[in-house]
Each structure stands twice: as structure tokens, then as C-alpha cells.
Structure 1
């Protein structure tokens, strides 16, 4: 070898060459040393059984880094599992504590000894709840009256048209009904066939002033209601009849119902039992001619699907009309029940005149008491019940809801008469 290290010792490889190279170095050094005998025994090379593959330094570094990151990820996952278990245990503990508190409250509330004493001390006079309730605008209308506008002195137009309501010989034939001048606007709101025509007759007989109507019925006009079709802005009628949005074609749209009746005018709300109102309204819708306000129709017309649909629609209209006026009217509102009016007409007529701020003419009331029926009141003695149990239940539920609102606002409840069909 002549003292030189083979090239295999200088090549940077991964196999284990330490023994071979050290043997060569020792041989070389011994040959160069003068005091040692040089051995000329030939050097024998022992072949390696298997040489490992060569791995670049960058790839080896990447593998070590991946191994380190994998170990770190395993450690993080283990910590997360431990934390989630701790959080779950804490949540379960809190829920158990809350359930325990709730159970203690329930159990304690059932024991008289655990209940706290309640004191009912009356509030101070200046903060009384009753005084606060009476200050609400809806409740102020209950006992309100019509405030006549400046210039309204209930003046009668002696030059205009007139009508003689009672023509029999005697004192009553001297009374006439005429138009007024500069009268304050007042509304009469009701479902059709709820007694509005009869109430107009009573008011005209008691005051001598015509009542107006948003609609024009030539049969009523020929019968003495000369205010038919007269607009309210003329100021010539005592009050103005309207049915709101309850005329055919039926609609339950909220905006339409609001726009049909002016909420900023004093209003008389006439309410009749819904079952009786539905019957009369259906008769009126099936009749034509001048006698349709008093005529009857055969019972067979109440057995079809058309009548069933009519009952469902008009029952809802009855409730909507009452609740709309009770909630939307901002001026004084007077609630009058048809059943009370028929039971004691003169008494309730006096109350209505007081609401309208119209003085009472006792002579007219005497003549009116002798001529109560008028010309367009339907006097039906027939007892007929065409309603199903479902329809009767619908009547009862509608009356109950309206009664709840009436009681809340301080009005009398709808009377329950003996011949009510439901």
C-alpha cells in the first residue's frame, strides 16, 4: 500500500468503515517507524455482509422533525381529552346543583311553613292604581259624552223638508221631524239587521232631528227616513249610520276595517246577539223589494252550505266590528245592546240622549212610548234554530272574547236573554 490510506477511507459514506481504516492506519504507521519490523504479510479485506442505504442529511432531518411533531400532536390531544373531561364534569355538577335548588323550591312551596308572608299594604293615594287606570284614553271614553262643536245649538231647519211620524188625531200629530244646522258629527255603528233602523226611528221621534246614513235605501227614504244618503259633512243629521266593513263582499282585512270607520268621531256602538243578528242578516240578503226589512224566508233556505258559510263569515264580522270600535275609537264611545233596548226602550233612550248631549222632550217621549214599533221593524214570533253545535260554540266563544274586552274597559257585558239559541 506504500503508506497511503485507500480512497475508501476518505469517501463520506454511512457504512461502518472504522475497523478497516484503523487497521490500515496502524499498518502504515508501523511500516514507517524505524524501530519496528515491517510485516509483509498481505492485508486481507473482509467483505461486509450488508451495507445500509445512503440517506441525505436534509431527508434525515425532515424525518426527525416529523417524528418530533407527531409526538407533540399526541401530547396536545391527550391534554385536550383531559380538559374536555374536566369541563364535562363541571357542567354536570352545575346542572345537578340547579336541579337540586329547583326541587327544593318546589317542595318548599307546598309546605305552609316555607311560604313567605305576603303583605297587602294599600298604595299611597297619589299613586293609586285606580287613578292611573282611569287616566288611560280607552277608559276615559266609557263615561264620556258628546261635546257639541262651537255653533252647534241643536238648531232645527224650519225651511227644509220635514216628516210627520205620528198621524193619528191628537197631540202627537203636531210633532215633526226636520233637518238640523251645524250639528256635530256622531257615528252609529252596527252589524246589519242589529236594530239600527229601529234605533234611528226612536231617536228621530224623541228629538225631532233626522238621522243620516252612509248608504241610500229608497224604501227607507219613502218611509220617512229622509236622511238616507245625506253626507255627514253637511251637519244636518243627529248621527250617521254605517256598517263598516261588514257588507258583502265580506272582507276581514285589517286596513280596510280601519279605513271604513273614522276612529276620531264620537260613536254609538249597537250590539245584538250574534245568532239573532246572523238570522236577520241572512233574511235581508235573500229578500228584495220594499218589504225585505220585515218579510220572512222559508226554513229550507237555512239548510244549505251557503248558509253554513254565511254563519262562519258573519260571526267573525260581528266580533271584529265590536272589538275594532272598542279598541280604535278615540272619542266618547257608547255601547248599547239591542236586547236591553227592546226590554226597556224609553229608559235606554234617555241614557242615549244624555250621551248625545241632547235635552229630553218629555212630550215626545210620551208619544213615542205609544208608537214604539215604527214602520220597518220585523216582528217575528217564529222560534227557529237552524244552527249546528259547532256554530253555537263559535257564537259562545265570540261573545266570551268580546265580553272580556268590555269588562276590561268598564262597559256592561252582553246580556244573556232566555231565548238565546246557543
Structure 2
């Protein structure tokens, strides 16, 4: 593929509204895309609730570790503008980066991990979706495309993108499916778009026939998606567990940097430790609304994924019963 798209992208940054966001303005001038504030939400509803291979020239990427280079022009964002020790460390687009996926089932910590990587590297992350709530929160690389090669990772969720980008290296995040289902039920039912990524529903909304009708299909889709993410043996991948990232974020970020072949920037990592939560990390939910039969189904799904992991020589899942 010809990568002249990068130059086109650089000249059209202002036209697409990035500059206005970077300056703190609320309006976007790209009216056609402005309407679609919930592309990720709509895909989640379509794939999870309702039920409904890109081949790029990066196989011969260098195996050498490197220091990342930011673009001098274009949008920038500082996650730590209120921290006097860290407010000079901004995030920008990079150049000639190896495309890498950041894959997780919805509500498994993908957005928070994007923040961790942006803080640690100074390079924007992107997404196959266009979530304007996240752009306004500071994720200014959200609408960039994987073939522009200017973001450190690209967020995906579902099987269709795992298959479309079958040759692209991937960081896979796996979370306890019980916690995923609780968080996902909240996400698709909370109407306030600004609160979707962090809000918690009242426990009474889980004591419904609608929720229990959602659990079985939702678990099957989690199992199928996670299974597909682990069974492409041609893909170079790093598997991380959300619970480990919560317990020791900096340690897990170092693993990601090693996988990405990026030298760690100790100043950035120190600032990340001082500001570990980010803006849209969701609240940990203590609700556990599952029946005994549903819990047995969850345990069986976890056991199947655990076997896939150990068969590939990867670390076992955390003990979700602790």
C-alpha cells in the first residue's frame, strides 16, 4: 500500500476538527461525522446486545528498540497540565510506527490502557471507532487510521477487525467476564453519553429479566471473541490481564513498551505513576447479580480460555474467585 495518505492526513488535521479540540473548543467542523457520536456504542449494541484481513507491508519491521519521534506540527494534548512536574510532557502524532492493535472485549479497560500508553510514550492512540466523547476528553488520535502509521496502537473490540487485520501485532487485554458483563450492561443502558465510560448503574437495574436474558448471549460473545483473539498463531501478540494492570499499572506498561520495542522514558513513567487514573477510567463495580447457573457458565468459559492460554505457553488467568 502507498503511504502518501500520511501526508494527506497531516494537511487535513485542521479540516477534520482536531485543532479546534486541541484548543479546547467544543465545535467540530466535520458535520458529516459530527452526527455519529456513538459509533463504538452502536457497534457494541449491534454485536453484543442484538447479535449481529487487512494485509499491510509491516511483516519486515525492524526488531530494534527505538525512541519515538513526535510530529512537530499538528494537534497536541497534555494529560497532566495541572501537575507542575509533568505539564511539559505532551502527546502528539508519531511517524512511521509499526501498526499494532489494542484489542479487548468491550468494557475491559481499553480506554484506560490507551491513556497509560499515551502518557508513557507521548504518542497518540487511535481507534477503528469515532467516539467524540473521547476526543473531547483528550484522545485526539481517535479518528486516525491504522495505515497512517502515526499512532502507537489502534483500539479494536470484535472478531471482524481481528480478521481484517489478521497480520497486525496485537496487545490483548482480558478481563473477568463477570465484571465485563456488569460493566457492559451499565454502558449500553446509561443514556448520558458524557458519563457512559465512568458511570455505575443502580443495582436494582440488574435484578431484571432483561439483564438475565442478556447474560447468556453476552458471555458466548465474550468467549467467542476471546477465543478468536488467541487462536491466530501467526499473529505476534502480548496478552495482559485487566486485574494485573489495575494492581500494578507501571509494571504492565513496561511489558507493553517491551512488546512495542520502545525504550521506556523514565520521566514519563514517573509522571504516569503520579497520575495513574486518567480521565475516563471506569469505577470498579462491586455488583454481582448472577444466578448459580450463570456463575457455572462463567466458570466454564473461563476454564476454556485458560486452557487456550496455557496450551500456547501463556500465563494463566487470575483467580477470579478471590
Q: How does 1:13-162 map to 2 (within 5 A)?
A: 147-148=61-62, 154-162=68-76
TM value normalised by structure 2: 0.77
Distance 2:69 2:161 in 1: 34
Paired residue for 1:269? 172
SS at match of 1:268: strand
- Once the two structures are TM-superposed, the CA of residue 314 in structure 1 deviates from its matched residue by 1.6
* 2:288 corresponds to: 385
Assess, with a 3 A threshold, how the Cα gap between structure 1 residues 362 and 303 changes in structure 2: closer, same or farther: same
Q: 1:201 to 1:215 in 2, by over 3 A?
A: same
Q: Which residue of 2 aligns with 1:204?
A: 118
Alpha-carbon deviation of 1:417?
4.3
Pairing 1:402–2:305 present:
yes
Confirm or deny: 8 A CA contact 2:101 2:154 kept in the other structure: yes
Question: Which of structures 1 and 2 has the larger relative contact order (alpha carbons within 8 angstroms, sep 6+)?
Answer: 2
Deviations for 1:264-294, whole angstroms, at most 9, x for unmatched residues? Answer: 1101110000000111111110113211111
In the alignment, structure 1 residue 293 sits paired with structure 2 residue 207: no
Q: Tell me by how many angstroms 1:379 deviates.
A: 2.0
What is the aligned length?
A: 262
Q: Note if 1:280 corresponds to 2:194.
A: no
Give ranges in structure 1 of 5+ residues lacking alignment: 1-144, 246-255
Please say which of residues 164-173 and 349-358 is displaced more in the overlay: 164-173
2:214 aligned residue (291, 310, 328)? 310
Aligned-residue RMSD, C-alpha = 2.1
**Structure number, greater radius of gyration:** 1
How high is the TM-score relative to the length of structure 1? 0.59
Q: Alpha-carbon deviation of 1:411?
A: 0.3
Query: Do the aligned partners of residues 146 and 353 (structure 1) sit closer, same or farther apart at CA in structure 2, a change above 3 Å counting?
Result: farther
For the Cα contact (< 8 Å) 2:68–2:121, is it kept in 1? Answer: no
The 3 A distance-change label for structure 1 pair 228 and 355 is: same
Alpha-carbon separation, structure 1, partners of 2:113 and 2:62: 21
Counterpart contact for 1:149–1:184, Cα < 8 Å:
no
Give the unaligned 5+ runs of structure 2.
1-58
Q: Distance in 2 between the 1:235 and 1:343 partners?
A: 31
Aligned counterparts of 1:149 and 1:413: Cα–Cα separation in 2: 27
Q: How does 1:182-197 map to 2 (within 5 A)?
A: 182-197=96-111
| Cα distance in 2 for residues equivalent to 1:349 and 1:257 | 24
Q: Give the distance between the partners of 2:213 and 2:71, measured in 1 at CA.
A: 47
Whether the 8 Å contact between 1:194 and 1:270 is mirrored in structure 2 is yes
Q: Does 1:353 align with 2:257?
A: yes
In the other structure, the counterpart of 1:228 is 142
- 1:375 aligned to 254, 279, 286, which one? 279
